[in-house]
């Protein structure tokens, strides 16, 4: 016996053939239209308010690598080359260039976002962005970010590059942590690397020198500092301590100013040890961690 024809399946098959044929014709039409389209305008989108790169610089990059765009046929414009030339700029994190059916070339740019400015021992300035890349200073804009100086031996060649030294990586981790917290972002204004390669922090409020150490256990260390601010300093006054050491994860060491004699008893999460000013140089050797 002959099998019964499945007309539903046949109909579906022919429907797919028609759709695909229509799609091919439509795409061919689009390609045909694009080959005759002329660039009418160039629109550049640079989001954000930290403009390390201006519209005029973008226009110059496009002109240098693609010539005058407006008035030319789209088929004669190398979109990929324009995109690559923009991505080569050290301040541009991402760039997308494309043309729409109205003959308008659109350029979307994402800039790098710095969170730290480092001044190394060679007196070279450079930024570190959110992804840990070194980027150059800008003639157009100065970012309001943490500044780090001191004994920082991280080299910089003027090009986008990753961090190499442990100290520089710790500075980046510290700056990233601070930038994500409103309290500490408002309180800490500078980082300094001392002769022991410890990171010191300079606060906006108070004259204390805060010794952070390395970038390990940052959340614990800053929680300890917050407790110290909240429970100890209100009782004895902000001028009582010359140095606050939070480099150990389970204690805070307060080094008193020589002209202060008032003491306090507090019960924060971290133990507070008060030591005289002249003991500062021996703290790391003589203090027992509890």
pLDDT for 3: 56
| Distance in angstroms (rounded) separating the CA atoms of residues 126 and 116 | 8
Asked if the structure places residue 101 within a domain, the reply is: yes
pLDDT confidence of 81, banded at 50, 70, 90? very high
- Rounded mean pLDDT, 6-34: 58
Are residues 121 and 86 part of one domain? no
| Distance in angstroms (rounded) separating the CA atoms of residues 284 and 201 | 18
pLDDT for 281: 38
Are residues 212 and 170 part of one domain? no
pLDDT for 237: 79
Domain region containing 290: 206-290
Asked if the structure places residue 11 within a domain, the reply is: no
Asked if the structure places residue 23 within a domain, the reply is: no
Long-range contacts of 68-72 (CB under 8 A, 24+ apart): 69/39, 69/42, 69/105, 70/39, 70/40, 70/41, 70/42, 71/38, 71/39, 72/38, 72/39
Reply yes or no on whether the pLDDT at 1 is more than 70.
no
> What is the pTM for the complete model shown?
0.76
Number of domains in the chain: 3
pLDDT confidence of 289, banded at 50, 70, 90? very low
Asked if the structure places residue 57 within a domain, the reply is: yes
Are residues 219 and 273 part of one domain? yes
List, for residues 150-177, the tens digit of each pLDDT value: 999 999 998 899 999 999 999 999 999 9
Are residues 124 and 88 part of one domain? no
Reply yes or no on whether the pLDDT at 103 is more than 70.
yes
Q: What one-character-per-residue DSSP string does 41-76 give?
A: EEEEE--SS--SS-HHHHHHHHHHHH---TTSBGGG
The answer to whether the Cα torsion of 50, 139, 60, 115 is positive or negative is negative
- The gap between the terminal CA atoms of the chain, to the nearest Å, is 92
Are residues 127 and 103 part of one domain? no
State the CB neighbour count (10 A cutoff) for residue 155: 15
Reply yes or no on whether the pLDDT at 257 is more than 90.
no
Asked if the structure places residue 254 within a domain, the reply is: yes
- Three-state secondary-structure class, residue 25: helix
Spatial neighbors of 203 by CB under 8 A, at least 6 apart, are 187, 188, 189, 210
Asked if the structure places residue 56 within a domain, the reply is: yes
Of 111, 141, 158, at which residue does a domain stop? 111
Position with higher pLDDT, 51 vs 70:
70
pLDDT for 169: 97
Position with higher pLDDT, 172 vs 53:
172
Are residues 130 and 85 part of one domain? no
Asked if the structure places residue 28 within a domain, the reply is: no
Of 60, 91, 111, at which residue does a domain stop? 111
The residue assigned the tokens 């300035």 is 125
The rounded mean pLDDT for the chain is: 82
Of 193, 228, 249, at which residue does a domain stop? 193
Are residues 130 and 83 part of one domain? no
Asked if the structure places residue 214 within a domain, the reply is: yes
């Amino acid at each position: 016996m002959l099998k019964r024809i499945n007309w539903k399946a046949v109909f579906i098959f022919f429907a797919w053939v028609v759709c695909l044929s229509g799609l091919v014709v439509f795409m061919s039409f689009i390609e045909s239209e694009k080959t005759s389209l002329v660039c009418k305008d160039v629109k550049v989108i640079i989001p954000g308010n930290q403009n390390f790169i201006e519209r005029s610089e973008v226009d110059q990059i496009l002109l240098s690598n693609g010539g005058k765009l407006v008035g030319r046929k789209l088929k004669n414009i190398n979109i990929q080359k324009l995109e690559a030339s923009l991505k080569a700029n050290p301040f541009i994190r991402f760039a997308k260039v494309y043309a729409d059916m109205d003959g308008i070339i659109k350029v979307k740019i994402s800039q790098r976002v710095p969170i730290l400015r480092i001044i190394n021992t060679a007196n070279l300035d450079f930024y570190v962005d959110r992804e840990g890349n070194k980027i150059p200073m800008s003639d157009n804009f100065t970012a309001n970010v943490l500044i780090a100086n001191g004994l920082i031996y991280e080299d910089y060649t003027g090009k986008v590059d990753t961090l190499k030294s442990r100290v520089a990586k710790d500075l980046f981790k510290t700056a990233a942590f601070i930038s994500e917290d409103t309290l500490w972002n408002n309180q800490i204004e500078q980082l300094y690397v001392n002769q022991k390669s410890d990171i010191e922090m300079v606060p906006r409020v108070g004259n204390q020198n805060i010794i952070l150490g390395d970038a390990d256990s940052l959340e614990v260390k800053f929680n300890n500092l917050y407790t110290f601010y909240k429970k100890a300093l209100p009782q004895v006054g902000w001028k009582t301590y010359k140095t606050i050491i939070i480099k150990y994860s389970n204690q805070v060491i307060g080094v008193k100013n020589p002209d202060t004699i008032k003491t306090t008893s507090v019960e924060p999460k971290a133990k507070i040890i008060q030591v005289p000013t002249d003991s500062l140089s021996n703290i790391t050797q003589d203090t027992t961690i509890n």
